[in-house]
Structure 1
């Protein structure tokens, strides 16, 4: 782990044993266009000192030093982005970096303490506390993907305005932060409550955030879900997010991962983006004894669900509860469509293949409505598996027709 020496503004390397117990500051911020990178800081510093990125680095180190911290970590210059192994290690470890830090300084470059957007006092009046918090509610920092974990993981947070002056902590600041991030206030008070929040709720926090690299929409959530996976820039956001969900499924029995709604005519059981969880209502988990195992296989998500044949539509009950607008707890339902001629035999049992349809619709049913409904072992095909099934069926028909023609 590379750390900044806050006195010398130089980089020093520490192995895992050396870092353990070493107090360091860490910075959460939004990147500008003139940041100081790892290889630049390892070179001639004199050539850097007129740049905006140098001023940020210098102010951060000075802030850390005034808090008695000799070392600090900053993502712009403490990761060698020319080294793919270093990038992968840093991304997989970044949540831990913030969790283990002595203090996280959150610099809000667009939150000004003075009127008219001024960055210093120079004859201008300081805004009121309410005005300052209103600016905090709309800060760009709360819209970025990576800053989600940077908000949750640290034990101590210190918010800094654009001029690097500290924004006084308080319950009203937590209220503003909870409103802008949609993160539960209790979690903002105690980071170790993270496991109390279901998968869909955590996805909802990320649903309206953006990242510069498309794949980071998934990579920035690995720490939130306590999973690790290879970093493969170039795979695309959709593939990266599917890989993330597969990793989550391997160690979780939380079925809220399937409670999403997207504007798709048909889909598999996995979401395509965190944005699919944007309007997720309050959810409740079922007791383990009421759950059926589920897994991702080469034929899709295999799961046992209660199926209702309601006239001309099929409904499947997801194994969790959702709170309706009237305050009642009901079972979320999804619409299914059979994939014809695509049944599979899994461990001696026949599993019917389905696709999820009408994905934008939210339907719930009272638990009593499901009494007496039978369970069915099903496989819900993801896009790539569905396309392969359709392709193989088409090829099979073509071969059959060719054989019949040749035999005449």
Structure 2
């Protein structure tokens, strides 16, 4: 791990148990940032645009009793373990360059920091987080702002305060946290979620939408949480869809209760698609209603229809809907079946 000495501003590498306590910076990238290749001597560094973040972070850390800091722009080494670096930090400084005091805490909702994909993990992972305005004035902590952050992000204050472990939160809920966030590179909307789901995969820039599919496949290897399939297409579409979502945006607008019945039977990815043995409710025309669990509006499910060109394999029908089973499924015939479901059908294949 590459850290910056707060006194000399020189880099030093640490490994494993040798890593000392350190502070870490969370921010949104501006037009001018200091990369590892741009880094130079202290006096020359002072003349470079974007160096203020480095000097201010080191100053804050020194004043708080820390000798080392980590800043992504110049310390990053293209590893996928960034979530762990934020989790292991002794203190995290969040710098909001587009917020100025005096102002109400709720005014931070307009800050760009809340719209970016990578800052999601930077909010959740560190235990001690302190927020600073554009003039580097402290105005709150994650603990003290927990309810405000809940309102802004849709992430429960219990999660923000670290009272609930991430693996106890339904998969769809965690996906929804990123539904309104953006990343510069298409793949990063998947990569920024690796830590949220405790996934460690190689970063393959250039794979496009397949990055999010790869993330979902890895999640399937770790959990039988059926809410992974509780997404809704953003528009009413007649296109056939597979069981996988295209992006976190498709998980927006639906809340799952913590501790709800979301875990189902064993399922896995095979070369025929998703394989699962589950209870299905009969629907007309070779269509079945597949229950997924309980959320804010009761039991919900999705529609599966048999693929005429591939008998025995199903696809997602009416993918823009999550159906209320308690309202429409009471009198439907139930059948336990082994089914295969296409992973995806309308993602571009290259």
Match for residue 18 of structure 1?
Answer: 18
Counterparts of 1:2-401 in structure 2, within 5 Å, are 2-19=2-19, 22-41=20-39, 43-79=40-76, 86-87=77-78, 89=79, 92-113=80-101, 127=102, 131-169=103-141, 173-190=145-162, 192-236=164-208, 238-262=209-233, 263=235, 264=237, 265-283=239-257, 285-286=260-261, 291-312=264-285, 314-324=287-297, 329-330=298-299, 332-343=300-311, 352-366=312-326, 369=330, 373-383=334-344
What is the TM-score when the length of structure 1 is the normalising length? 0.79
Is the Cα contact below 8 Å between 1:141 and 1:147 reproduced in 2?
yes
Larger RCO, structure (CA 8 Å, separation 6 or more): 2
User: Residues 8 and 286 from structure 1, CA distance in 2 versus in 1: closer, same or farther, beyond 3 angstroms?
Assistant: same
- SS of 1:27's equivalent in the other structure is strand
User: Residues 29 and 219 from structure 1, CA distance in 2 versus in 1: closer, same or farther, beyond 3 angstroms?
Assistant: same
Aligned residues: 344
Match for residue 349 of structure 1?
Answer: none
Deviation at 1:313, TM superposition (A): 6.5
More off after superposition, 103-112 vs 192-201: 192-201
Is the Cα contact below 8 Å between 1:286 and 1:320 reproduced in 2?
yes
- SS of 1:233's equivalent in the other structure is coil
> Cα deviation per residue 1:310-341 (whole Å; 9 max; x = unaligned)?
334723223311221xxxx22x1212221124
- SS of 1:206's equivalent in the other structure is coil
Partners of 2:41 and 2:184 lie apart in 1 by 28
> Cα deviation per residue 1:333-392 (whole Å; 9 max; x = unaligned)?
21222112423xxxxxxxx1111121112211129727751112111113359999xxxx
User: Residues 103 and 170 from structure 1, CA distance in 2 versus in 1: closer, same or farther, beyond 3 angstroms?
Assistant: closer
Is the Cα contact below 8 Å between 1:136 and 1:177 reproduced in 2?
no
Is the Cα contact below 8 Å between 1:219 and 1:231 reproduced in 2?
yes
Structure 2 unpaired stretches of 5+: none
Aligned CA RMSD, in angstroms, stands at: 2.3
User: Residues 169 and 227 from structure 1, CA distance in 2 versus in 1: closer, same or farther, beyond 3 angstroms?
Assistant: closer
Is the Cα contact below 8 Å between 2:178 and 2:248 reproduced in 1?
yes
Deviation at 1:23, TM superposition (A): 0.9
Question: Counting helix residues as a fraction of each chain, which structure ranks higher?
Answer: 1
> Cα deviation per residue 1:137-167 (whole Å; 9 max; x = unaligned)?
2211011111111101111111111111111
Partners of 1:222 and 1:373 lie apart in 2 by 37
- SS of 1:243's equivalent in the other structure is helix
Partners of 1:363 and 1:176 lie apart in 2 by 32
User: Residues 24 and 147 from structure 1, CA distance in 2 versus in 1: closer, same or farther, beyond 3 angstroms?
Assistant: same
User: Residues 235 and 191 from structure 1, CA distance in 2 versus in 1: closer, same or farther, beyond 3 angstroms?
Assistant: farther
Larger Rg: 1
